[in-house]
Structure 1
Amino acid sequence: MVFPKATKTDYVTLRPKEKTLTKISVCLRSYTELTREHSLFSMAKHNFHNAFLIYPNPSGCLCISINNENIYYKVDPESLKWKHTCVTWNSKTGLLQLWINGKRYPRRVTKTRVPLTPPVSVILGQEQDKFGGSFDLNQSFVGEITDVNIWNYVLSPAMVMAYFADYYTISGNIYSWVRKKYTVTGQVSILQNQYYRK
């Protein structure tokens, strides 16, 4: 998926299986020249607009929001290459894990223990300030996103490393990239059968 410019009108809505998530793993690959903060993955519920948000700042910080609780990581500064990001969370323990390009950052524990319950709105390219909308141009993503998958369990380190090492995708059981259940709004381009090098 190619997001060509900063806008409030270009985004992709994913259609994951409707299921209560006590555990979740989200993995995706992205490529951008942005030097400002932006949203990579935005899941909203009616009572939490940042139910599950992956929000990097290329200056060396990445924010993960779970049920509007913000957890900040100091990460390696953004470089111009494909970036593989995986985030896992267990609502029962609060254990949050971030992996970028095969490197696991220090584990954190969230205060929130509220499972992610349907209905949810899952959007790529924009950050939701309310369920399904209220976008800010200055938070929009510009670049490429591929291989987005969601699981209802915590991926093991071996699975994350396998996902990072291979050009193909380990399909998610809540949302699978290969099944292509999404809706495009605006000028997002979908490239079929394109391959890239890490």
Structure 2
Amino acid sequence: MSAVQIVPSLRSFSIPECVSVEGSKAGATQIPCTPQDLSRWNKLFIMLEDSQMKQDMLLHQNEDMVKVEVDSIQKELHKLNNNKACVQASENTCKCISEQMNGNLNKAMEQLREAADTYQAQNNETLQQLIQFSRNQATRLTKLESSTLLGAGLGQVAMKSFSAYPKEQEASNADGGKLERALMATVADLQRVHAQLALFQRATAHRFLPSGCEMALLFPMRSKHIFAEVIPSMSMSLQSFTICLWAKVTQSLNKTVLFSYGTKKNPQELQLLLARNSLLLTVGGETHLVEAHSVVTDGQWGHFCAAWSSEQGLATLWVNGENVARVPGVAEGHVLPSNGFILLGQERSRSGIYRDLDSSVAFTGKMTGVNMWDHVLDAGRIKEYANQDGSCDSRGNVIGWGISEVIPHGGSQYIN
């Protein structure tokens, strides 16, 4: 019952009022109480009242349960007493039940006492915290009042300093530190995911089509019937050129043709070839050969370029934007003849008839971004076109990918 009497005393407990101080110019100034402090007091009082109500309800509930059990036992005993044969048995049973009920009742009462003592201890501790809190507040307000007499500006600074409690500041700093660490960890995770996505995008582009190329030619198998014919946009009578293309070869043999230009007189006038893991260029026939070793990998996209100038006979080969071969004196003074045929993935036969093509030199894989210029591109442009981001945006003036007509033959086809 002593715990129940705490509530009236708490309700009669007065919250410290707001302090009025004399300002230097504005006269009397009312220092507002912080709403956070009042709400904190209200919550503490409500918690105390709820604990007292729960204790009373628990006591009444247990008393009601005990009364119901005793009444039911008494009714059973009356029924047994009406039967004389069972009188003695009922007395013995009554004694056993009574002893059992007394034991249970004692245990229940003991548990109730322990619960009441626990509630009482908690309430007393909370009350002591409230009293101590009130005293601390009164001390702080007194100090605040004396400090504000020195000036309104100093009073505002003191009010800000006393408005935050040390424990709350420590808790907020700790929470802020945890939140900052969590945010930093999240940022690190996002950066790792972003890096993985970038790698995945590059791998996807490398596996399927280079970025910027919307379509490609597929050469599904090595056959003399599978190739593509290109109709140039201008005459092939050239004294210099640059050829660039993207290719992913399924398997490169001793001779695998990427690009071939042939005439009736010379079916192998100009060729860009693969030989195992090497890249080769011939101009005016196989005697004028330029070769770069160990630059081709089967099953991977590669950007291959070949440039040649008749003036000095300088021929160069480029793989993925890097110069891999540079040979002077290649077909110096030579001019490519016109009225020839451009084939992708195959070379023109000496008879000029398609059925006489050689399946052993056929290309298998994918090809895209085939372009040809009538001049030698500088190194910067070639490196730019080897970039997988937007590499198909620029097109040659002799052959422009997506502009010049490219006719698939046999089983070759466009894919995207």
**Common fold: TM-score over 0.5:** yes
* Shift of residue 45, structure 1, vs aligned partner: 1.9
* Residue from 178, 195, 198 that aligns with 2:402: 178
Give 1 or 2 for the bigger CA radius of gyration: 2
- Counterpart in 1 of 2:227? 11
Structure 2 residue 324 is the aligned partner of structure 1 residue 105: yes
1:22 aligned partner, one-letter code: Q
CA pair 132-51 structure 1, distance change in 2 beyond 3 A: farther
Spell out structure 1 runs of 4+ moving beyond 6 A: none
CA RMSD of aligned residues (A): 1.7
TM-score with structure 1 setting the length: 0.89
Structure 2 residue 261 is the aligned partner of structure 1 residue 43: yes
CA pair 132-114 structure 1, distance change in 2 beyond 3 A: farther
* Residue from 225, 237, 248 that aligns with 1:20: 237
Q: How many residues align?
A: 191
Distance in 1, Cα, partners of 2:218 & 2:381: 27
Percent identity of paired positions between Structure 1 and Structure 2: 23
Which structure features the higher share of helix residues? 2
Which structure features the higher share of strand residues? 1
Deviations 1:89-147 (A, max 9, x none): 00121110100111102311214432112112100011223356442111000000000
CA pair 28-84 structure 1, distance change in 2 beyond 3 A: same
Structure 2 residue 354 is the aligned partner of structure 1 residue 129: no
* Shift of residue 180, structure 1, vs aligned partner: 4.2
Whether contact under 8 Å (2:252, 2:274) holds in the other structure is no
CA pair 149-77 structure 1, distance change in 2 beyond 3 A: closer
- Counterpart in 1 of 2:275? 57
CA pair 32-102 structure 1, distance change in 2 beyond 3 A: same
* Shift of residue 77, structure 1, vs aligned partner: 4.7
Whether contact under 8 Å (2:272, 2:279) holds in the other structure is yes
- Counterpart in 2 of 1:94? 313
2:390 aligned partner, one-letter code: Y
Distance in 2, Cα, partners of 1:114 & 1:180: 26
* Shift of residue 76, structure 1, vs aligned partner: 2.1
Q: Which runs of 5+ in 1 are unaligned?
A: none
Distance in 1, Cα, partners of 2:236 & 2:344: 20
Q: Which runs of 5+ in 2 are unaligned?
A: 1-216
Higher relative contact order (CA 8 A, sep 6+): 1
Structure 2 residue 365 is the aligned partner of structure 1 residue 143: yes
CA pair 132-146 structure 1, distance change in 2 beyond 3 A: farther
Distance in 2, Cα, partners of 1:10 & 1:188: 6
Distance in 2, Cα, partners of 1:186 & 1:19: 25
Structure 2 residue 378 is the aligned partner of structure 1 residue 156: yes
Whether contact under 8 Å (2:321, 2:383) holds in the other structure is yes
